[in-house]
Structure 1
Amino acid sequence: MTAMNKIPLTVHGAALLKEELHRLKTIERPAVIEAIAEARAHGDLSENAEYDAAKEKQGFIEGRIQEVESKLSHAQIIDPSSTDADGRCVFGATVDLEDADSGQAVTYQIVGEDEADIKQGKVSFASPLARALIGKFAGDVVQVQTPGGQREYEMIDVRYV
């Protein structure tokens, strides 16, 4: 297993995937098996929309279980609070930025792709913003190409929380 196959995840992101896997296996999977059995009991499967829908849902659930298990087996779980990067922005870091044009302050945490949620201030390490920030220090100014054009941010603080 090379490092290339590792998927970086924060401790929180790994916990969310484990919760989803548990829910899929203990609630969703048994429910869909029940729905298939019920639809089967209705007789002719060739024109049974409930059966088709349940089988399709079963396929989706099984596929997602495999996907989540694969991600967890390839996960490189990173605990930002135990990171010591001497103030450098790294995966898992929380960064306070100031928009150079508007002066607006924003805070983002750099996380894995599955955890990214811009509304919660979590950006994927693969995003243009994260790529611009990684390796930089508080006080640095970074330029990011966004859909709305070039933006400039000053890094106010880098925290590992």
Structure 2
Amino acid sequence: MSRAFVKEDDQEEIPIISPRAHLSVGEINYVTSLGLRQLMDERESLLQERSNVDISYANERRIALLVINGKLQLLNDRIHSARQIDSSSQERNSIRFGAKIQLKIDGTVKTQNLQIVGVDEADIAKGKIAFTSPLAKILNHKKVGDQAILKLESGNRIFEILKIEYP
């Protein structure tokens, strides 16, 4: 049928599904055990949400299911590509994936605690940074007492490593 005979009201909006946290093509999707558990819990929650979709209008139900199924597809892709890293197998005296780090910033007395985690688990408010972040990259392989320099447009920020732990 020609588009000339389709009412504009019949045009349906394609649902927009927010992308997951960025992970470059070909980059390994490292996750902590907690991060993998969170992904699995998220999948269970979406499956439950999908089974509970109860909308009286067929079109609304179809759109709601499209959104949930789209989120599930993105999540399943992320779960299938996940490579869990056991923090107990990491070298204890240098910063690697999963490390909890205490840093002193720019020679001040101010310290910051961070953990290097997977991209889906990263949450700066909780002190968790993605292994793909510029800060995590400059901290990689550093040891207690080392300094890491993060180059910013406004100048360099120097971090001194005070403590490294693995959960």
TM-score per shorter chain, which class? 0.7 to 0.9
Please give the residue correspondences for 1:8-157 in structure 2 after superposition, counting only pairs within 5 Å: 8-26=30-48, 28-32=49-53, 34-35=54-55, 38-40=56-58, 51-52=59-60, 54-80=61-87, 82-146=88-152, 149-157=155-163
Confirm or deny: 8 A CA contact 1:83 1:160 kept in the other structure: no
Q: Aligned residues: percent identity? A: 30
TM-score (norm 2): 0.78
Encode CA deviations 1:103-149: one digit per residue, 9 max, x unaligned: 21101000011011000000011111100101111110111135764
How much has 1:86 moved relative to structure 2? 3.7
2:4 paired residue number: none
Count of residues paired in the alignment: 142
Confirm or deny: 8 A CA contact 2:92 2:166 kept in the other structure: no
How much has 1:57 moved relative to structure 2? 2.6
TM-score (norm 1): 0.81
Find the residue that maps to 1:55 and give its secondary structure: helix
Find the residue that maps to 1:66 and give its secondary structure: helix
